[in-house]
Amino acid sequence: MCVTCGCGEGDVRIEGEEPSRAHEHVHADGTRHSHEHPHDHGRDHAHTHERTHDSVAAHSHAPGVSPTRMVQIEQDILAKNNAYAARNRQLLADRGIFALNLVSSPGSGKTSLLCKTIDLLGASPVAVIEGDQQTSLDADRIRASGAQAIQINTGKGCHLDAHMVGHAMAQLQLSDDTLLLIENVGNLVCPAAFDLGEAHKVVILSVTEGEDKPIKYPDIFRAASLMLLNKIDLLPHLTYDVDAAIAYARRVNPQIRVIQLSATSGEGMGEWLAYLRTNMAQAHAAKAQTMASLKTRIAHLETQLQASANAAA
pLDDT band at 311 (very low <50, low <70, confident <90, very high): confident
Compute the average pLDDT of residues 186-214: 96
Q: Average per-residue pLDDT in the chain? A: 84
pLDDT of residue 68: 77
**DSSP helix/strand/coil, 146:** coil
Average pLDDT for 193-207: 97
Return the SS3 of 142: helix
Q: Where are the domains of the chain?
A: 85-272
Q: For the chain, first and last CA: distance in Å?
A: 65
193-194-197 Cα angle (round to 5): 135
Topology of the domain comprising 85-272: Rossmann fold (3.40.50)
pLDDT tens for 82-140 read 999 999 999 999 999 999 999 999 999 999 999 999 999 998 999 999 999 999 999 99
Q: What is the mean pLDDT of residues 249-278?
A: 97
- Specify the DSSP class assigned to residue 181: E
